[in-house]
Amino acid sequence: MTATVRHPGTTLTEHVFAVPLDHSRPDGEQIEVFAREVVAAGREREELPWLLFLQGGPGNTAPRPVGQADWLRVALRHYRVLLLDSRGTGRSTPANRQSLTARGTEAQQAAYLAHFRADSIVRDAELVRRRLLGEDAQWSTLGQSFGGFCTLTYLSLAPEGIRDAFVTGGLPGLRTSAEEIYRTAYPRVAGKNAAHYARFPQDVARVQQITEHLADRIVLLPDGSPLTVERFQFLGMLLGEGSGSPRLHYLLESAWIRSAAGPELSDTFLEGVRAQISLAANPLFAVLQEPIYAQRSVSSGGTSWAAQRVRGAFPQFDAERALEAGEPVLFTGEMIYPWMFDLDPALVPLRETAHLLAERGDWPDLYDTERLARNEVPVYAAVYADDMYVDRGHSLATARTVPHLRTWLTDEWEHDGLRVSDGRVLERLLAMARGEQ
């Protein structure tokens, strides 16, 4: 049964779909996928084209809209929008430390989670399209970040379902291994660190002082888990967002408080750190971050904790070495490390499952390069020149190999441009589709 609610300027209709866990076994185990339909108030009965939004991540829920905000305001002028909670997220059948215990052993949990990558998400979307729109109807797609990866998988598996596609910060390398992803990522992250310290030079000493403090003693976050130097460095995830550098600076400002025992890290700071580095709300981001790059024809040996293996080639991220040399301590970025599954309470129960996924080598390919080379679906993609999360070179290389894919290369926005540009990023892509740009 669907439920409809009204927010200022919008009407929201909730949909729940039963989908196969394994689409190669349609009569096997079923899970649920949730989607929220959004239409501008007063246009509910109009025959509007559909726009499917594919969220970034992996493992993030679709936006929870309140009225017409950000890019949604622009989209609702033209479309009926479907916000899909990809499998395992939001109101879809959950996949976290609590629900996965019902799956049995770690090996059984890993086998289950192997069905939560882009190929399964796309097949879910196709099933939803046929049920909502009909067998022969098409929709447009908007893929943000990992949602753009899903878009290229969609064009590989079922391009007949797509009228046209929009991508923001998410054109993947089609033949790029996880190891190569991180070999190109570490230098970009180092550049973001340099830009942050140039903007806030006082943070160099602050970060060194905090790092020395953490290296000398056990410090616990409010959830009782230890704040190690490496966990502190994970705050660098912020540096890939447009407002991330100032937010990091303000967090560091709150670091110290004087107690009866002398200076110590403040509760305000520790809670702020916990809120940033805890993956309790999105454990799939940690478990599947590297498997989203795995393809048997590219890396038959699996991912094998690529970010950890590659890190040694970039000694500037060694905090102990930086302190000894009197150099700035660098934050890391969108890297998931095996030690996270020893320290984050939301991840500890998934430790062995994550190791099994990292060791798996028979991942199906996600991109059909031959089919993509014959692509006829119009694709309009925003590529951010200084994107910390997605390599610009990989994105542009993909654009050169996929016909009918046009790019807009911009240095005006960071990776979160779709969300923070007040609709201007989406406006530009829609203008490209109309032939106005």
- pLDDT tens across 15-73, in order? 999 999 999 999 999 999 999 999 999 999 999 999 999 999 999 999 999 888 889 99
pLDDT tens, residue by residue, 241-299: 999 999 999 999 999 999 988 899 999 999 999 999 999 999 999 999 999 999 999 98
Identify the band that residue 5 occupies on the pLDDT scale cut at 50, 70 and 90.
confident
- Helical pair 267-277 and 244-253, crossing angle rounded to 10 deg: 150
The predicted pLDDT at position 163 comes to 98
pLDDT tens, residue by residue, 313-326: 999 999 999 999 99
Identify the band that residue 300 occupies on the pLDDT scale cut at 50, 70 and 90.
confident
With vertex at residue 410, the alpha carbon angle to CA 406 and CA 414, rounded to the nearest 5 degrees, is 120
pLDDT tens, residue by residue, 198-245: 999 999 999 999 999 999 999 999 999 999 999 999 999 999 999 999
Q: List active site positions.
A: 145, 362, 415
Burial class (CB within 10 angstroms; exposed 0-12, middle 13-18, buried 19+) of 345: middle
**Is residue 127 scored above 90 in pLDDT?**
yes
pLDDT tens, residue by residue, 366-392: 999 999 999 999 999 999 999 999 999
The predicted pLDDT at position 114 comes to 97
With vertex at residue 271, the alpha carbon angle to CA 267 and CA 275, rounded to the nearest 5 degrees, is 175
The predicted pLDDT at position 262 comes to 86
CA–centroid distance for 411 within its chain = 20
Q: What is the DSSP string of 333-397?
A: -S---TTHHHH-TTTGGGHHHHHHHHH---PPPS--HHHHTT--S-EEEEEETT-SSS-HHHHHH
**Is residue 1 scored above 80 in pLDDT?**
no
**Is residue 2 scored above 80 in pLDDT?**
no
Calculate the average pLDDT of the chain: 96
pLDDT tens, residue by residue, 327-351: 999 999 999 999 999 999 999 999 9
Taken as a whole, the chain contains a residue count of 437
User: Which domains does the chain possess?
Assistant: 3-174+367-433 (3.40.50.1820), 178-359 (no CATH)
Look at residues 145, 143, 142 and name the one whose alpha carbon lies nearest to residue 170: 145
Token output for 425: 């990023």
**CA 119, CA 258: separation in Å to the nearest integer?**
53
Radius of gyration of the chain (CA): 22
For 182-210, what is the mean pLDDT?
A: 98
The predicted pLDDT at position 433 comes to 97
The predicted pLDDT at position 437 comes to 80
Identify the band that residue 7 occupies on the pLDDT scale cut at 50, 70 and 90.
confident
**Per DSSP, what are the bridge partners of residue 52?**
82, 141
DSSP H or E stretch at residue 76: none
**CA 173, CA 239: separation in Å to the nearest integer?**
22
